[in-house]
Structure 1
Amino acid sequence: MGRRIAPLTLDNLADLPTTCRSCVFWELDPVSAREAVESGKPELEKEGWISAVLLEWGSCGRIVYVDDAPAGFVLYAPPAYVPRSLAFPTSPVSPDAVQLMISRVLPGYQRQGLGRVLVQTVAKDLLGRGFRAIEAFGAAAGPGRELPSCVLPADHLLAVGFKTVRPHQRYPRLRLEARATVSWKDDVEGALERLLGGARKEPALRPF
């Protein structure tokens, strides 16, 4: 089974699930996001956002492929590029951190450790680019509470190594220290070799 991880670009944006290609939950503020949906142009806004971040900051996502079929993805960027983050009660993201916006493993590929590998790949990228941490807003489960689809479950973030830095009954903010990945390095490399069959594709690191 051939597996690889590739940086997200405009060329492979179409490999994201349709609902995610047209989702601008994180990329725009709430008013602008609603206007984009009402005007029928969310995909154009998503493409424009990715293009701008790639030009101004660099790589902001990864896609994992299994036998050349997309199996999951992750998006991340500095908080200055993520307007929706300011709408959360536990904002702002710390100035030394990059925000993990969303991470998904597609049906049929779940429970294979790909979610953890995606997060570790982001952490490794950030460490090489001089950032200290990854932060994310988590959705906390509760009785009768439906978790929003665009916000990662807090339990998932805790399971892959994040720690709560600002508690909240609905949307805690969690953090993963990049320096902690130094102790993971061998484990990350081993996991990538096992899961990706030595065929992963990584871009040259730039000085998230």
Structure 2
Amino acid sequence: MSVSVTRLDLGSFGSLPQHTRKCVFWEVEPATESSRAAGMTSAGRTDFEPYESEFDKEAWISGLLLEWGACGQVAIESGTNSVVGTAFYAPPNRVPRSQHFPTSPVSHDAVLLTSIRTEPGYDEVATILLDAVLGDLIRRGVRAVESFGLVRNGTGAVPFESVEGSGGLADELELWSDEAIVEVAREILDDPQSNLCTSCMNDASFLKDSGFDVVSSHQRFPRFRLELDEGLGWKFEVESALQKLVVMAQIDLAGRQQTAVPVGAGPHRSAGAVLRCQ
């Protein structure tokens, strides 16, 4: 499998997977979304999906690209040229949902990593996307990245030392399904209309394994933080330059192999010898 990662722009918006293209769980104020859902229901719409608006998602991306810069990274599988993963990030004041967690608010000096989402069978792409996000933010001088984690199970997902009676709770969480998580979220977030999008939240275990530290503990929605060392900027620049050199070398090698001809085919060449390019 060969995967390349590139910054998201409006030109590639239409190629995003359907859920990623339409879900505005992070981008729309929950109160606004609840009102819209109620209006759709009263109008007799039964096909309305919570937090679904392709128009709002595209408008959110467009606004950030104009006012702040890149807010997404896209992983593309070279064989099929299809998008197999996405990552979104933005200043917390541009993410309405970030104000509605029990571990809110996000620190003023941090950019919020809202979600890293991969298609089935491409779980390993999540790490590649995270590296692309961190590289972009380091080059832009961002000090730290924060993210709300979702504890999907209790085994080693996130330290519970500060939570009273954590041992039993951790064991119980192992058995909870996404549907159960949504029900609990409605109570925790004090919103009976809440429709938590579990697929658009980052797993607490992934954030922990990626070097993030818990800065606000919670049984279900801990907030994580990763400090970005400005001195690491050179590393990403060097790696990028080396990657370009490798690609150029491969192109040059392929070109020379295509033009290689038997030595005896032209004048002043010895018969029987063949030019080979290694």
Shorter-chain TM-score: what band? 0.7 to 0.9
Aligned to 1:86: 99
Deviation at 1:35, TM superposition (A): 4.4
CA distance in 2 between counterparts of 1:108 and 1:184 reads 33
Q: Percent identity?
A: 42
Is residue 59 of structure 1 aligned with residue 70 of structure 2?
yes
2:150–2:221 CA contact under 8 A, matched in 1: yes
The structure with the largest helix share of the pair is: 2
Question: Residue 202 of structure 2: SS of its match in structure 1?
Answer: coil
Establish whether residue 143 from structure 1 lines up as the match of residue 174 from structure 2: yes
- 1:17 is matched with 17
Q: Which runs of 5+ in 2 are unaligned?
A: 41-47, 154-172, 182-197, 249-278
Q: What CA deviation, in whole Å up to 9, does each residue of 1:130-151 have, x standing for no partner?
A: 1111100001122333352221
Q: What are the superposed Cα offsets for residues 88-112 of structure 1, whole Å, 9 maximum, x if unpaired?
A: 010111111000011012123233x
Size of the alignment, in residue pairs? Answer: 192
Task: Please tell me whether residue 169 in structure 1 is matched to residue 182 in structure 2.
Answer: no
> 1:120: which partner in 2?
131
Q: Which residue does the alignment assign to 1:96?
A: 109
Alignment match, 1:34:
34
How far apart are the structure 2 equivalents of 1:6 and 1:29?
28
- Specify the alignment match of 2:266 in structure 1: none
Contact in 1 for aligned 2:139/2:233 (Cα 8 Å): no
Tell me if structure 1 keeps the 8 A contact 2:135–2:233.
no
Aligned residue in 2 for 1:202: none
State the structure with bigger RCO (CA 8 A, min sep 6), 1 or 2. Answer: 1
Q: Does residue 44 in structure 1 map to residue 55 in structure 2?
A: yes
Paired residue secondary structure (1:31): helix
Deviation at 1:24, TM superposition (A): 0.5
- Asked whether 1:182 is paired with 2:232, we answer yes
Q: Secondary structure at the match of 1:25?
A: coil
Kept in 2: contact 1:29–1:83 (CA 8 A): yes
Q: CA RMSD in A?
A: 2.6
- Stretches of 4+ moved more than 3 A in 1? 34-41, 183-186
Larger Rg: 2
TM-score by length of 1: 0.82
Indicate conservation of the 8 Å contact 1:22/1:43, yes or no: yes
Q: CA deviation at 1:11?
A: 1.0
- Counterpart residue number, 2:161: none
Q: Which moved more, 1:30-39 or 1:50-59?
A: 30-39
- What is the rounded CA distance, in whole Å, between the counterparts of 1:50 and 1:70 in structure 2? 17
Q: Which residue of 1 aligns with 2:188?
A: none
| Alpha-carbon spacing, 1:151–1:3, altered in 2? closer, same or farther (3 Å) | closer
Does the CA contact (< 8 Å) of 1:123 and 1:181 recur in 2? no
Residue of structure 1 equivalent to 2:166: none
2:264 — aligned with what?
Answer: none
